[in-house]
Amino acid sequence: MSRYFALVFVSLLLNACTPEPALYQQQLVVFGTIVDISLWGVEQQKAEQAVSAIDRDFQRMHYEWHAWEPGPLTAINESIARGESATVIPSLIPIIKRSQVLYRQSDGLFNPAIGRLLNLWGFQSSERPHRPPPAKAAIAALVDAAPGMDDVTINNGVLSSSNTDVQFDFGAFAKGYAIDLAIERLRAMGFGNAIVNGGGDLRAIGSKGERPWRVGVRHPQGEGILAALEVQGDESVFTSGNYERFNEYEGVRYTHILDPRTGWPVKGITSVTVIHDNGADADAAATALVVAGVSQWHRIARQIGIKYAMLVDEAGTVYMNPAMKRRVEFQSGVQPKVVLSDSL
């Protein structure tokens, strides 16, 4: 997840960029990225109320789920490190429980218990680190300690961990889950046609009037879009990549996505895009498939239940399943080499 929620209103773009009268768009800066909220066919005043409500929700999530700014999650991490049990605030319980399922389905490649490793690499910071890789022995010690989501149990809201090296960091999942909650909030307020788009990761519901919503897939090099696709009904499109956050030291880029089996940043994959029926699982799956890489993405996608996935490797080769191929339209002038997999 791109970081985090210094929640500030940037602008209110009411029909400013588009001649379409029924489109309401507003931007918030949250999760260290711009979140665009688009609503179709709504009254301005109701739309403003909805966006203010989402703004307040995001501020609370920022505080409650942050992995290193002091708050409820860092308090839980401190209790785990001391070998003590901890009371879990209600908003974190479904995050932990869903993450346990995704951890198992991904064979541990999505592992939000590796906060210590992320911290060791300097990725628990809003600054981009520029430092040499950590000492090999320090990495190996944390890999041997093998913190995982199966080490924790929650009973009646109280969490205990059998492994004191578990430190939660939901950076790969929380943006998707937050976007799901924003969509839930919009639906509860009566909005059926909307997109909540956090820096290119989005969930769309309904349509844009007579037409389906059309969205971009982020380019692996981080600029512009690689492809476009139409979203149908209620779908989430999430992309994970190594261009977003990384440690650059002496000309070598170390991406912020770590392989929990080795403790080292993933190599070879520049981005993974998935389409799925909810943002939280799409977010976790995109990260897991970056770790899985060319040789294992198909199996892991099947285990998680992903029906559309696309990987781009460092050479620009695109790997995807046939159903995904039928949906993506590459930008004109872009004709990557495509390797088609079996169906998912």
Residues that bind ligand AMP (CB under 6 A): 1, 109-112, 118, 123, 169, 171-172, 240, 245, 256-258, 260, 283, 286-287, 291
Cβ-based nearer residue to ligand AMP, 126 or 162 = 126
Residue 143 binding target from ligand AMP, Mg ion, none, CB below 5 to 8 Å by type? none
Q: Pick from ligand AMP, Mg ion, none: which does 310 bind, CB < 5 to 8 A by kind? A: none
Minimum separation from the CB atom of position 287 to ligand AMP (A): 4
Crossing angle of helices 279-304/93-105, nearest 10°?
20
Residue at shortest CB range from ligand AMP:
171
Question: Considering the complex, what minimum distance in angstroms separates the CB of residue 56 from ligand AMP?
Answer: 24
* Helices 279-304 and 174-188, axial angle in degrees (round to 10): 120
Residue nearest to Mg ion (CB): 287
Residue 206 or residue 265: which is nearer to ligand AMP going by CB?
265
**38 and 25 in contact (C-beta within 8 Å)?**
yes
257 binds, among Mg ion, ligand AMP, none (CB under 5 to 8 A by kind): ligand AMP
Beta carbon of residue 171, minimum distance to ligand AMP (angstroms, whole number): 3
171 binds, among ligand AMP, Mg ion, none (CB under 5 to 8 A by kind): ligand AMP
Collapsed DSSP state (helix, strand, coil) of residue 104 = helix
Give long-range contacts, CB 8 A cutoff, 24+ apart: 48-57.
48/12, 49/189, 50/185, 50/186, 50/189, 50/191, 51/26, 53/185, 53/189, 54/28, 54/182, 54/185, 54/186, 54/196, 55/7, 55/9, 55/28, 55/30, 57/178, 57/181, 57/182, 57/185
Q: Name the β-bridge partners of 233.
A: 206
| Amino acid found at 332 | S
Q: How far is the CB of 259 from ligand AMP (least distance, A)?
A: 7
Residues that bind Mg ion (CB under 5 A): 172, 240, 283, 286-287
From Mg ion, ligand AMP, none, interface partner of 24 (C-beta below 5 to 8 A by class): none
Q: Least CB distance from residue 237 to ligand AMP, whole Å?
A: 13
H helix intervals, 263-306: 279-304
Q: Which does 180 bind (CB under 5 to 8 A by kind): Mg ion, ligand AMP, none?
A: none
**Shortest distance, position 91 Cβ to ligand AMP, whole Å:** 19
Minimum distance between the CB of residue 42 and ligand AMP, rounded to whole angstroms? 30
Closer CB to ligand AMP, residue 79 or residue 99?
99
Nearest to ligand AMP of 109, 320 (CB atom):
109
Strands (E), 188-300: 194-198, 201-206, 213-218, 225-231, 233-241, 246-249, 252-255, 258-259, 264-265, 269-276
Question: Closest CB to Mg ion among 88 and 280?
Answer: 280
Contacted entry of Mg ion, ligand AMP, none for residue 112, CB cut-off 5 to 8 Å set by kind: ligand AMP
- Of the two residues 159 and 274, which places its CB atom closer to ligand AMP in the complex? 274
184, with CB counted inside 10 A (0-12, 13-18, 19+), is exposed
* Extended strands (E) in 41-175: 86-87, 152-155, 158-161
Please tell me the distance from the alpha carbon of residue 100 to that of residue 342, in angstroms, as a whole number.
28
Backbone angles phi, psi at 192, to 5 degrees: -110, -5
**Smaller CB separation from ligand AMP, 152 or 291:** 291
For residue 340 the two structure tokens come to 């088609």
Is 212 or 216 the residue whose CB approaches ligand AMP more closely? Answer: 216
Q: How many CB atoms lie within 10 A of CB 125?
A: 12
**At closest approach, how far in Å is the CB of 341 from ligand AMP?**
21
